Amino acid sequence: MEIGPGSTAIVSGATHGIGRATARALAGRGAAVGLIARNRGEVEALAEELPRAVALPADVADPAATQEAVEGFVVKAGQLDLLVANAGLAHTAPFTELEPDKAEEMVQVNFIGTLNQIRAGLPRMLDRGRGHIVIVSSAAALRGFPWTAVYGATKAAQKTFAEALRHELSGTGVSLSTVMPGSVTTDLHSHERGRMPDWWRRGEKIGPEQVAEAIVDAVAHDRREVHVPKSVRLLGLNSLAPAAVDRLLALLRGGSAAPRRY
Ligand SMILES: NC(=O)c1ccc[n+]([C@@H]2O[C@H](COP(=O)([O-])OP(=O)(O)OC[C@H]3O[C@@H](n4cnc5c(N)ncnc54)[C@H](OP(=O)(O)O)[C@@H]3O)[C@@H](O)[C@H]2O)c1
């Protein structure tokens, strides 16, 4: 599906990082964009800045609020062509030190929030026989990294869910792409930057605009899975040869990426 003037899209997590860059990229192509995030002031400020944007302050972990946001957008914009389920957060720590409420928050926002958004938006697309969903997962879905056990699990849950749903949507006119970014320069870890593990510090980082362009490209070409940068795809080898991937990561990212050898 080409995005252009007349297109309608909702982006969650729209006020920072990947979501903001995506909202800008879509608005720049003439789309009307609904902006979901929790901080009302930031949502409204971005809606002022982008042409034809609609502020939809909501918490994606709240199914009723998410439904209301999506319905509110459809009333204003007339329809929903594209839903970018991007809202997410991270708490990085050894599992034994991760507070249970922080682990549960990641599950609620990153995974259940994805389901809430799709439950709210997909019926509208199926009724019209047209639409596209993008799920922003992560490289962390392909290989578990120390200190991100729960975060990575939420991203793997999104990936597996997306794989199955893409097949289920065959023949409906609605499609779905999964986007797996590597490390991106955003605010995801701003609250914990001082305690991030060594492997994270040593990695290559890309800008959020690169991910936004990959999202637009995935929609235009109905791509199944997109890795940004392309090297992220190598992590998929983990399911076939985990020891080799451990060795490679230890070389590239240092021992903290793969402290256990067997
Ligand atoms: N940055 C990376 O290295 C990286 C790599 C791979 C994948 N990702 C994924 O990319 C997505 C976006 O992350 P980012 O790096 O752009 O993070 P970010 O800069 O921290 O932005 C996160 C956005 O999500 C919103 N948000 C958080 N919790 C929300 C909730 N419960 N309901 C609605 N909106 C919520 C935030 O606004 P409010 O706080 O106002 O709600 C903000 O707009 C996430 O799913 C993340 O897992 C990021």
Residue 256 domain-assigned (yes or no): no
Whether 2 is in a domain gets the answer: no
The residue nearest atom 32 of ligand 1, judged by CA position, is 59
Instruction: Residue 81: give the domain boundaries.
Output: 8-235
Instruction: Find the mean pLDDT for residues 219-234.
Output: 97
Indicate which atom in ligand 1 lies nearest the CA of residue 21.
Answer: 16
Residue 109 included in any domain: yes
- pLDDT (average), residues 156-183: 98
User: Ligand 1: residues whose CB is within 6 Å?
Assistant: 12-19, 36-39, 42, 59-61, 86-89, 109-110, 113, 136, 138, 181, 183-184, 186-188
pLDDT digits (tens, 9 = 90+) for 234-250: 999 999 999 999 999 99
User: Does some domain include residue 260?
Assistant: no
pTM: 0.98
Exposed, middle or buried: residue 130 (CB in 10 Å: 0-12, 13-18, 19+)? middle
Percent of the chain exceeding pLDDT 70 equals 100
- From the list 111, 145, 147, 151, the catalytic residue is 151
Mean pLDDT of the chain: 97
- Please give the number of the atom of ligand 1 that sits closest to the Cα of 188: 20
Residue 262 pLDDT grade (very low, low, confident, very high; cuts 50, 70, 90): low
CA of 140, closest atom in ligand 1: 6
CATH code at position 200: 3.40.50.720
Interhelix angle 17-28/208-220, rounded to 10 degrees, is 50
| Relative orientation angle of helices 63-77 and 113-128, to the nearest 10 degrees | 30
**Residue 151 appears among annotated catalytic residues:** yes
Tell me, yes or no, whether 261 lies in a domain.
no
Please indicate, yes or no, if residue 246 is contained in any of the structural domains: no
Ligand 1 atom with the shortest distance to the CA of 151: 47
DSSP state letter for 15: T
Gap from CA of 259 to ligand 1 centroid (Å): 28
Q: How far is the CA of 18 from the centre of ligand 1 (A)?
A: 7
What's the gap in Å between 86 CA and the centre of ligand 1?
6
Asked, for residue 201, whether it belongs to a domain, the answer is yes
Q: Residue 262: inside a domain, yes or no? A: no
> How far apart are alpha carbons 158 and 184 in whole angstroms?
18
Domain count, the chain: 1
C-alpha of residue 208 to centroid of ligand 1, in Å: 11
Q: Note the pLDDT tens digit of each residue in 130-143.
A: 999 999 999 999 99
How far is ligand 1, taken at its centre, from the CA of residue 66, in Å?
A: 16
Q: Is the omega angle on the peptide bond into residue 229 within 30 degrees of 0, that is, cis? A: yes
Decide if pLDDT at 203 tops 90.
no
